[in-house]
């Protein structure tokens, strides 16, 4: 089934692709992997039809996701694997053990277009549903040598609003405060900015308290939507 699904995706996407857009998309994303040339709205429309199927069990779903991801020739096929992680029917198959699947994709893609969706939606959803198992994993990821696992640990609560675990967020930010890595500095600012919609005073307090440690980028991002 997994091989058939990938071939179906590849065939459908090639049929609706704009060959001229492929190189442009690849250049914009600074991607070594080529693009077929399918814009996101068209991609999602095609995938909704392709993914209108039922998986027998969690193993069959996971096999399909990883087969598509591991055997992708075009970046849109990576996006297809990510989309398959987000379809409503897939949620019933995802448990705390699914973190290893997302980890492989995050480490393998190693770029924000794939990582950020998996972090904020898929890993975030696991954190909501299985906090006892996922919290300690995110704390370990926050100290990882892998930038993208660190970024994931920081931004996985982006959509949590009032349910944000501040202790967890600050603990995941802490190991990266001194980092000069752009994607970590940006992640810190992004996570704080999102929480500022819920509690701007708390974010202002945190920024003041860590003014000597936060990079100008993180500070600017954190306070972007906070009234002076």
Enter the DSSP assignment of 61. Answer: H
What's the predicted TM-score (pTM) here?
A: 0.96
Report DSSP letters for 89-137, one per residue.
GGGGG--GGGHHHHHHHHHHH-SHHHHHHIIIIIIHHHHHH-HHHHHHH
For residues 113 and 207, state if they share a domain: yes
Q: Which domain holds residue 100?
A: 95-228
For residues 104 and 61, state if they share a domain: no
Domain at 173, CATH number? 1.25.10.90
For residues 114 and 11, state if they share a domain: no
Tally the residues of the chain: 228
pLDDT computed for residue 24 by the predictor: 97
For residues 75 and 106, state if they share a domain: no
User: Please, are residues 193 and 224 in contact by the beta-carbon 8 Å criterion?
Assistant: yes
The span from the CA of 31 to the CA of 99, in Å, is 25
The span from the CA of 172 to the CA of 140, in Å, is 9
For residues 39 and 69, state if they share a domain: yes
User: Please, are residues 150 and 188 in contact by the beta-carbon 8 Å criterion?
Assistant: no
CA distances from 169 to 43, 75, 215, 226 (A): 33, 31, 17, 19
User: Please, are residues 202 and 195 in contact by the beta-carbon 8 Å criterion?
Assistant: yes
User: Please, are residues 19 and 37 in contact by the beta-carbon 8 Å criterion?
Assistant: yes
How does pLDDT run along the chain (228 residues), one tens digit per residue? 799 899 999 999 999 999 999 999 999 999 999 999 999 999 999 999 899 878 889 999 999 999 999 999 999 999 999 999 999 889 999 999 999 999 999 999 999 999 999 999 999 999 999 999 999 999 999 999 999 999 999 999 999 999 999 999 999 999 999 999 999 999 999 999 999 999 999 999 999 999 999 999 999 999 998 865
For residues 88 and 183, state if they share a domain: no
User: Please, are residues 131 and 113 in contact by the beta-carbon 8 Å criterion?
Assistant: no
For residues 89 and 159, state if they share a domain: no
Asked which of 54, 75, 93 is the last residue of a domain, the reply is 93
CA distances from 150 to 94, 114, 117, 211 (A): 22, 14, 15, 21
For residues 8 and 86, state if they share a domain: yes
pLDDT computed for residue 226 by the predictor: 87
For residues 118 and 226, state if they share a domain: yes
């Amino acid at each position: 089934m997994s091989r058939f699904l990938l071939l179906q995706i590849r065939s459908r996407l090639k049929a609706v692709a704009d060959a001229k857009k492929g190189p442009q998309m690849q250049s914009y994303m600074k991607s070594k992997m080529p693009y077929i040339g399918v814009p996101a709205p068209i991609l999602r429309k095609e995938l909704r039809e392709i993914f209108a199927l039922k998986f027998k069990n969690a193993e069959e779903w996971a096999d399909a996701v990883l087969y598509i991801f591991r055997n992708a020739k075009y970046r849109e096929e990576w996006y297809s694997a990510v989309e398959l992680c987000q379809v409503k029917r897939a949620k019933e198959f995802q448990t705390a053990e699914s973190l290893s699947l997302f980890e492989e994709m995050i480490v393998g893609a190693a770029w924000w277009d794939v990582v950020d969706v998996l972090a904020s939606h898929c890993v975030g959803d696991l954190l909501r549903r299985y906090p006892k198992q996922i919290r300690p994993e995110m704390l370990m990821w926050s100290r990882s040598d892998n930038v993208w696992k660190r970024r994931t640990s920081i931004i996985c609560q982006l959509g949590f609003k009032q349910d944000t675990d501040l202790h967890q967020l600050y603990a995941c930010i802490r190991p990266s405060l001194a980092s000069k890595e752009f994607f970590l500095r940006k992640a810190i600012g992004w996570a704080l900015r999102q929480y500022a919609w819920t509690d701007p005073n708390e974010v202002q307090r945190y920024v003041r308290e860590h003014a000597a440690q936060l990079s100008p980028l993180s500070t600017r991002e954190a306070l972007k939507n906070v009234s002076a």
